[in-house]
Structure formats: structure tokens, C-alpha cells
A and B are shown apart, each in its own frame.
Chain A
Amino acid sequence: AQSVSQHNHHVILSEAASLELGCNYSYGGTVNLFWYVQYPGQHLQLLLKYFSGDPLVKGIKGFEAEFIKSKFSFNLRKPSVQWSDTAEYFCAVGTGGFKTIFGAGTRLFVKA
């Protein structure tokens, strides 16, 4: 069955620390890959996406993610986090079969 796993459920960092959130998926075909962010009390919004082309994609607010096809991974990175990055981060995989599968989410807390 198709699935998306996010390695960390909770991450606590100090401001200016570097961030890497892991995401792996299980699906053998062509995929669209997404990271969504949910700030406290708000709805999900797109952070970045990969459909094709350069496997290193840049999103809003200094986030980037790298698609490594051989590892079925799409890890999210940011070199220096800010307090305002405190949020829940969801990795998602669109398989083209009517369904986008979301990971369980990683809750990031950034200490000021």
C-alpha cells in the first residue's frame, strides 16, 4: 500500500539552528511531492512542491527540499530557522490516482 512516513513527530530547535525534516514514501511510479505547513490555528498552505525537473526545489520563507528518487525521499531543509517557523509540517505525495497521501506531520517548535 502507498504510504508516507515522516521521521520525526516533534522537533525542538533554537533560533538560527539548521532544520532538516525527513520524508519517505512508498510508491513505485511517478509522483508529485509536496510540503505543506500549518501555522498554529491556521489552515494548511503549500510550502513547496516538486513535479519534475531540478530535484532541488525552493519554496517560500527560505525552505528548500531535495527529491532523491533512489531513496524515495523528499527531505525539507532550512539553513536557519526563526521563531515564526513554529508550525506543523506535512509531507504529501500525489500519485496521480486521485489521491494525495499525507504523512503524519512533524511539529516544529522554535525557541526564541
Chain B
Amino acid sequence: DTAVSQTPKYLVTQMGNDKSIKCEQNLGHDTMYWYKQDSKKFLKIMFSYNNKELIINETVPNRFSPKSPDKAHLNLHINSLELGDSAVYFCASSQSSLGETQYFGPGTRLLVL
């Protein structure tokens, strides 16, 4: 059973397009996250939701809009994609938002042409 799953695994698209990445966790966790990992492997938090409520928004451009329909899902929609958005995006979840162990999804490798 996959604990944290993401779709799609790979995404290749043109500049200016709008795309979405989906994330689901079946661990019963309250908190979910989106991270961006750039080409140098640096991992940066983008958003965090706790029980469907946004609790962290790390100065991400408003072209990025997370949506949490329920606490098991946290989707990421990106408008007007730019070359600099090319990266691997990781979804993660944790039991709560109190700095606990995070469980990561397999990542979505986004390439913007």
C-alpha cells in the first residue's frame, strides 16, 4: 500500500500552460506539505496544510495555488508555467504540524519547455 502517492510522476509541458499535481495520503495524517526540489537538490517548503487549513505559505508566487478538499488530499495547481518552475515537487504528510516525522511521496518531475 502506498502511503503518500502523487500523480503524475512526470509532467512535460510548454511555458504558459496550466497544470495540476495531485497528492493523496492514506496514513490518516492531519498535515500535508508541498516541497520544491531544484536541480541542486535543495528542498524548499512551499505550503503546509493542517486539517484542510493553510498554515504555511512560503512566499510562493500566486501562480501556485494549493487546494485541500479533505485532509487526505492536497493538490497543487500551477498557472502560467515558467521555465524556472522546472523541478521535482514532493508531497509529504505528518501526523500533526508539530515538527514530526514526514512521509514523502515519490515526487513529480516537472519540465517546462
Q: In the complex the two chains form, is B56's CB within 8 Å of A99's CB? A: yes
- Residues facing A in B52-111 (CB within 8 A) are 55-56, 90, 92, 94, 97-107
Q: Knowing A98-B48, A98-B50, A99-B48, say if A49 contacts B101 (CB, 8 Å).
A: yes
Cβ of B74 to closest chain A Cβ, rounded Å? 15
Q: Enumerate chain B residues within 8 angstroms of A93, measured Cβ to Cβ.
A: 99
Shortest distance from the beta carbon of B1 to any chain A beta carbon, whole Å: 15
Of all chain B residues, which has the CB nearest A30?
B99
Whether a CB of chain A sits under 8 angstroms from the CB of B43 is: yes
Contact A43/B56 with A98-B97, A99-B48 known, Cβ cut-off 8 Å: no
Count of chain B residues with a beta carbon within 8 Å of a chain A beta carbon:
24
- Partner of B90 from A43, A49, A104 at Cβ < 8 Å: A43
How far does the Cβ of A106 sit from chain B's closest Cβ, in whole Å?
Answer: 10
Given contact pairs A90-B43, A105-B41, A100 touches B104 in the complex (Cβ within 8 A): no
Q: How many residues of A contact B (CB 8 A)?
A: 26
Which residues of B lie under 8 Å from residue A97 when comparing CB positions?
A: 99
CB distance from B29 to the nearest CB of A (A): 14
State the main secondary structure of chain A at its contact with B.
strand
Within 8 A of B (CB), among A21-53: 31-32, 34, 36, 38, 42-46, 49
> A99-B56, A101-B45 are known contacts; what are 19 more A-B pairs with Cβ within 8 Å?
A31-B99, A34-B101, A43-B90, A43-B106, A43-B107, A44-B104, A46-B101, A46-B102, A90-B43, A93-B99, A96-B99, A98-B97, A99-B99, A100-B45, A100-B102, A102-B44, A102-B45, A105-B43, A107-B41
10 A-B pairs with least C-beta separation:
A94-B99, A44-B104, A43-B104, A98-B97, A32-B99, A102-B43, A96-B99, A43-B106, A96-B98, A105-B41
